[in-house]
Structure 1
């Protein structure tokens, strides 16, 4: 088995310590375009790191900390959420939403009101100063729930050249947020055939992600979606993955962690991280 050695870090970021507050320190990082990373801590403090210039800038605070189990989608200010963000000068909008909404009943009291569980961070779009804005949650949180049912967002993507943010929810269907009007609409009762974040590759004009069943690398065309039938995975693509030794078993992590990680490296390249246990 070939081994690789990762390069040393060029930046170290730590969560802000709250001595005496009794709250644990925590930190999360989200991609902000191609060459920037947003770090946020348990107090909602945000910093943006630019890998090209190696500059760090303070960003507006979230109304509520956005740490684990959050989906993140970035739409460049150029308006093309399905391509290069260089035309937008590296600015854009970062959408963050809690994926597992356990307290669904609570939102019935707040019909039509923005929620702290879904926020967008605006930065460098040339029209307004950087700030955070609370948004309305998708309509499924207002639907009746059954006992022990916790609707969870299983897959999500930017579609329509950045005009919409799309989320799929188990047992509820697929919804789209208009990024200009901030209004939700239901696309269909089906869900996307993916698990987790779905990334657009402009060179191939396809969306890539982990398949919803075996969680292997897969692709689909999400440019046009029919309300009556879900998108189908592209046929004829059988990408080989790492074949673990027989004594290795894939590890199931706890609820606060993803079991598989897919990272878009650009230019049609992806890094897939899986966790294994060696039973020797």
Structure 2
């Protein structure tokens, strides 16, 4: 979804008229989305008997790669302080933006990195801590690419899951109280996905995270959770991106821990979709989910 949802609502009429005679174009009309590049950390740590699983941290798409270290230092430092072999991975990088390439390709990049981490460290499994768009990549890897066998724990911060409406993105641009949300529009007129991808190639990646996309369906259709994987989800009531808050992020399937930051830490400083990752309360909660 992301900011490109603005384009979905604003140019929806244009998309409908772009197909000759009103016919819905085939998926082949949409341009392919580049895979993007990766930034891999040096695998310079080793698991211990107490912390046998390396922790792979997947940031969201907010900011650029130049911002990653500052954004994620609190989380990475906290995990390393617990003795965890912690590795921050970034994929699907296009023009300095994380997860801006094809999402299924980014998931394959993650799969390759997981295999490398296991080979170098000798670990049998890895844990994953992911934020926002990084959670979609993690879920694609675990569910579609068979990564569940390698991942006993998934901790997801403000993920974009099944119930997102895209309205939060529009509100940031002053577009509020519209008669239809972007996701409603895409769901009602699924042929807009290839049309808009063709008309505006820069939107193609974001459109993969809408319900009309085959990439989205591969992850979200049917059960999302996988046997043998423990899922923990944190959302924030102040989320202006993954909207509606909670509805967009929570995975309402058996065995999943779904919590609002504000319910757990009512007296703590406010956080939003992005800053939840940096809160000391969040880092402590992540550690609790991994090691309790």
Q: If the TM-score is normalised by the length of the shorter chain, which range does it land in? A: under 0.3
* Higher normalized contact order (CA 8 Å, seq sep 6+, divided by chain length): 2
Higher strand residue share: 1
Higher helix residue share: 2
